[in-house]
Chain A
Amino acid sequence: MNGVHDMGGMDGFGPVSPQADEPVFHAVWEGRVMAMMRAMGAAGAWNIDMSRYSRETLPPDVYLSSSYYRKWLLGMELLLLDRGFVDAGEIAAGHALRPAKQLRRGKFTPADVERVMSRGKFGRAAPAPARYRPGDRVRARNMHPPTHTRLPRYVRGHVGLVERVHGCHAFPDSLAVGGGDDPQWLYTVVFGGRDLWGDDADPTLTVSVDAFEPYLVTA
């Protein structure tokens, strides 16, 4: 979706403001939100692309004015409601009022913690040979799906070079909407800075994205 989360190349947000000696969490509740999100995902309530999509669907003004973990909380509440794990009355009451919905992998317990400490596995068996090889010229498709995608707007329509092939991976555009893995080849595609940003751009700049095969056409 063409949401405000797709920020590459936007102006007007001001300078980057690094904080010296920043704590891991700025308040206790931030850690609890992070842990709940990871735990429920690991228990099978949703996948990572559904959780990204839930944040992307927050109203633009809310997305832009909320801290990072506030967005996580709001997205998680949406996921819990949409997927039937919690209802609005329970959120309002602050207590469970109805029987639980079965989690695909069951309750998340301390024995499950180590499993969430690394990313999931996204490599999949390839249903077909890779269409592209390193060195191939490709164009990022001019596509604007109304749902989740991982092709940022700033590369759409532009021509780049395939640099690496990362194998065949589960496809976020499908996973985000409950469509299953739909495995696709994944490539690092490199674009010239001036191709993306025009003649005034830094001539030394190149930018790459990791693009799934359905995002690309031969150029």
Chain B
Amino acid sequence: MTKQPDHRHDRHGAHHDHDQHHDHGSELTEMQLRVRALETILTEKGYVDQAALDAIVDAYETKIGPHIGQRVVARAWADPAFRKALLADGTAAIAGLGLVSRIGDHLVAVENAPGLHNMVVCTLCSCYPWEVLGLPPVWYKSAPYRARAVKDPRGVLAEFGVTLPADTRIRVWDSTAETRFLVLPLQPAGTEGWSEERLAQLVTRDAMIGTGLPKRPHEAAS
């Protein structure tokens, strides 16, 4: 889980915002001033209501994140019928779980298997399954990842501390359209019969992107 920024008392927008790494009274950065000015203009022109902007920010900071994907993967590990449904139609299967109020069309779950590892990238911009993983991390949107994931995925995986067997096939999914991909990692050996809650603790965000593997059984709380 990502940590929450420590400015929650001060989230009402343009006239109070400050960089979380700076104290009150510090000099405003160029970006703060520029963004504040634009928000003022859009508000004065009646295009947006600041409370609506607050609600969007709040949703991504507190409600939507990888904990949703963790529950999806844990259910798929624990429930073969759900796994089958998820692979057949990710959007419909996840909508049926009731974890999120809305789920976008064409969410595709891709399954790792012994000898097959899936990895997701968006070389052209930053497409990512927001509804189940939240907003993408900076590295996912960065030039190094976008450039190399499709050409040298093993080199990229090494930078995440992941080494796969040399004969494991790697399949990279470049998200070039309004389809979104969620990797269904292999269930760790020795976790058969675990509850979904316990299984979910093993599912990392990076395992659902394909740049990581699930945690090992002893890393879960008992």
Contacts and interface: CB of A to CB of B under 8 A. Distances in A.
A117 B59 contact: yes
Interface stretch (B30-38, B70-78, B184-192, B214-222): B30-38
A152 B176 contact: yes
A131 interface: no
Given A10-B147, A24-B5, A205-B153, A110 B52 contact: yes
A129 to B, nearest CB: 19
Interface string A81-122: 000011000110011100010010001111011101111111
A43 B48 contact: yes
A35 B144 contact: no
A188 B126 CA distance: 18
Given A32-B17, A152-B174, A17 B143 contact: no
Q: Which 4 A-B pairs have the closest CB atoms?
A: A119-B104, A8-B123, A94-B37, A96-B44
B31 A73 contact: yes
Contact of A211 (B126, B153, B175, B176): B176
Interface in B98-126: 100-106, 108, 121, 123-126
A22 B138 contact: yes
Given A8-B151, A123-B106, A172-B177, A32 B47 contact: no
Interface in A1-15: 5-11, 13-15
A16 B174 contact: no
A16 B48 contact: no
B146 A8 contact: yes
Contacts of A86: 38, 41-42, 45
Interface of A: 5-11, 13-19, 21-29, 31-36, 38-40, 43, 45, 52, 55, 64, 68, 70, 73, 76-77, 80, 85-86, 90-91, 94-96, 100, 103, 107-110, 112-114, 116-123, 150-152, 154, 164, 166-167, 169-170, 172, 186, 188, 190, 196-197, 201-202, 204-212
A8 B2 contact: no
Interface string B135-172: 10111011111111111111010011000001111111
Contact of B179 (A100, A112, A186): A186
Nearest to A215: B176
A3 to B, nearest CB: 9
Contacts of B7: 28
B26 interface: no
Contacts of B3: 21, 23
Given A7-B123, A117-B101, A123-B106, A208 B171 contact: yes
B63 to A, nearest CB: 9
B56 to A, nearest CB: 4
